[in-house]
Chain A
Amino acid sequence: MAGTARRKLLLMGRSGSGKSSMRSIIFSNYSAFDTRRLGATIDVEHQNLRFLGNMTLSLWDCGGQDAYMDNYFSSQRDNIFQMVEALIFVFDVESKELRKDIETFVLCLRNLYEFSPSARIFALVHKMDLVVVEKRQDVYRALMHSLEDTSAMFSFKVQGFATTIWDESLYKAWSNIVCSLIPNVGIYQKHLQTFAEISEVDEVILFEKTTFLVLSHVTSSKSPGFESDSTRFEKISNIIKQFKQSCNKLRSQFQSLSLRGSDCSAYLDSMTASTMIMVVMANKLVTTGTGSEEAESGVVDLLENDDPFSGEAENNIILANIKIARKMFEKIEHMSLDG
């Protein structure tokens, strides 16, 4: 195997801001409730994660207590800030010393400017659940406004997210962060588009298997009005991730889901070794007979289809299409990242 691409991510922010919590939820299967048990991080905790076949995410969770912080900016300076692909700076909305937090943020930028000038900068305004709903937007905008100005001074562009571990906003932020590090994201998108067109489905979403972060999604222009909830992708991440935990309690793993909903049918299954695909189709008012014959002959066997409730011919066509697309996506997954 060719050398895997390693991406270094720095997690910074004051002690108690929620860095280890979000890392544990996204990458280590904690529930939001479990994070109450986390102690303060001692110095830097490294976590290396295989992501999408041949990529390694190297997470540097930097304990935020003052003594450690001082070290990061003095004796450990080059060690910490070298070869950084992305800085994820976590602000606690309830922080009493916001000015000091911003100063720390600026210190990070100054060091990155020197050691990793191409790093991407993400600011997470975290614990949003503690702010009353009406004020959230204002609080977030105010902080981001000052961060944007300071970042510009170091010619960085900061991307911000309002997050909390108690809802799907965490998944939205981390999907964006991780996708920004995957060079193949455009290729996934293109093939997902083709897949959606060929199989004539209304929506397709591609997830990373262990984190359930959204890698890519396509909604057909003919889709019957799913747009009403633009956060549905990260909501699915959140929902399925929680269900995966229930499955773990049975010492088993989640494999697939098929939903025959009131307005739509959805099918979620493995795509490749490290991705899952979800396909959504609006319920047809009139059931069409065309195509079912071919689908029923052979395809079922071909797929070793053991989903007992995929009785509908339409489902079988989707399964067949996923099967065909699988090869293509496996290829993308193993493409060299350095090329």
Chain B
Amino acid sequence: MADSRGMVSEALTISSHRQGQPIPKILLMGLRRCGKSSICQVMFHNMQPLDTLYIESTSRPAATVFSSFIDFEVVELPGQTNVTDGWNDDIEKLFIESGALIYVIDSQDEYINSLANLHSIIIHAVQINPQINIEVFIHKVDDLSEDFRLDAQRDITQRVTDELLDDGLLNVPLSFHLTSIFDHSVYEAFSRVVQKKLPQLATLENLLNVVCQHSGIEKAFLFDIKSKIFVATDSSPMDVPTYEICTDFIDITVDMNSLYKIDSQDQNAGAKNTGDDYEPYSSGQEGGKKESKPIGSTTRLSNGLIVHLQQMVKGLALVCLMRKESMPKIALVEYNIEFFRNALEQLQQLA
């Protein structure tokens, strides 16, 4: 465990370079009705996927700030934004400040139009900010069969890269994700987008690797509880069902905990706002709010799998998977998780 101490100090030096910068932005673009607002509402405002049917069309840019390990601002641009004509300084400034541009394509619709739109956006975006990551969400794939999804992804990837090639643009940082708000795919895709922009990612991954190696944990994720974005995971391979069980376990932990919250002031008993109170549990400064215990929970499955959740600093939770067989190392697991928490706290103070 001595070497992992070294990693913390390494992280400290990395993160100290990041002080005093503006909140990094993530741009969300796409044609009308492609699902941009739905993604924002479901991920950051606890909306049920089906309720998105009633969302009104977006006509002006909307911004949501969310704090995971560091703060991000997600800016949604309305579908009719025309980057070629109505080009203005504001959008230029946005492109400069944005680390990533998510472009949403409605896979259930004819996507030829959106590909043309995407193409012109990429051309402009990389001119202004060559560093910007272009993240294409091939969205609403819930109604497509597995085969169709892969076909759509292959086809879209091909068309987009071919066209960029024709323009002589070879090194655009471009990724494609299949997403739907009805399952975990949009969370996973968003997590990947955020992670690329996290300067502390390598440090966090290293810390998680150390924790896993030394305590018989199979897989560990560091999640942002509220958005269920995972900020980092250890470097062991990740499969979707494992990831899904972890996000679902966050849900049930949060839901069960809010059912058994004891209201000291009974007045606001009726107002059931769930999820809004996963701010830093140690926020003693925010006078008035009582200090509550960090949440922890554990579930056992019939195949010997154990999922363990431990709330960390700043609305983050460590969720790890282990086997019944690794039981003897439990004291170690708890010790290492505590160690991880301390490391996080140090990182956080510098972020």
Contact = CB atoms under 8 A, between A and B. Distances in A.
Nearest to B297: A259
B50 interface: yes
A243 B248 contact: yes
B261 A309 contact: no
B259 interface: yes
A222 interface: no
A257 B248 contact: no
A138 interface: no
Nearest to A259: B297
Interface string B38-79: 000000000010100000000000000000000000000000
Given A33-B182, A249-B241, A254-B301, A308 B260 contact: no
A65 B156 CA distance: 44
A231 to B, nearest CB: 9
Contact of B261 (A235, A260, A262, A307): A262
Chain A interface size range: 35 or more
Interface string A255-277: 11111111110100000000000
A308 B330 contact: yes
Nearest to B242: A250
Contact of B296 (A228, A253, A260): A260
A145 interface: no
Contacts of A33: 182
B256 A236 contact: yes
A261 B297 CA distance: 8
B327 interface: yes
B262 A259 contact: no
Contacts of B300: 255-256, 306-307
A243 B249 contact: yes
Interface stretch (B20-28, B195-203, B303-311): B303-311
A128 interface: no
Given A306-B324, A309-B296, A250 B330 contact: no
B253 interface: yes
B266 interface: yes
A252 to B, nearest CB: 4
B285 interface: no
Contact of B293 (A225, A235, A283): A283
Counting chain A CB atoms within 10 Å of each CB, the highest count among B266, B294, B301 belongs to: B301
A64 to B, nearest CB: 23
B252 A229 contact: no
Contacts of B301: 247, 250, 252-255
Contact of B299 (A166, A236, A257, A260): A257
A249 to B, nearest CB: 5
A263 B259 CA distance: 10
B276 to A, nearest CB: 14
Interface residues of B, number: 44
A264 B295 CA distance: 10
Interface string B266-279: 10010010000000
B297 A250 contact: no
A236 B281 CA distance: 24
Nearest to A251: B303
A246 interface: yes
A308 B259 CA distance: 24
Contacts of A263: 260-262, 292-293
Contacts of A266: 256, 260
A166 B50 contact: yes
Contacts of A239: 251-252, 255-256
A154 interface: no
A261 B260 contact: yes
B113 interface: no
B185 to A, nearest CB: 14
A141 interface: no
B333 A249 contact: no
B91 interface: no
A190 interface: no
B243 to A, nearest CB: 11
Interface string A165-202: 01000000000000000000000000000000000000
**Which 9 pairs from chain A and chain B are nearest by CB?**
A262-B292, A228-B269, A253-B302, A264-B260, A246-B248, A252-B303, A261-B257, A308-B330, A252-B301
17 contacts: A226-B262, A232-B259, A232-B260, A236-B259, A239-B256, A246-B245, A247-B301, A252-B303, A254-B302, A259-B257, A259-B296, A259-B297, A260-B293, A262-B281, A306-B300, A306-B324, A308-B330
Interface of A: 33, 166, 224-226, 228-229, 232, 235-236, 239-240, 242-243, 246-247, 249-264, 266, 280, 282-283, 306-309, 311
Given A246-B248, A253-B301, 20 more contacts: A224-B262, A225-B262, A236-B256, A247-B245, A250-B241, A250-B303, A254-B302, A255-B300, A255-B302, A257-B298, A258-B299, A259-B257, A259-B296, A261-B293, A262-B294, A262-B295, A264-B260, A264-B261, A306-B300, A307-B300
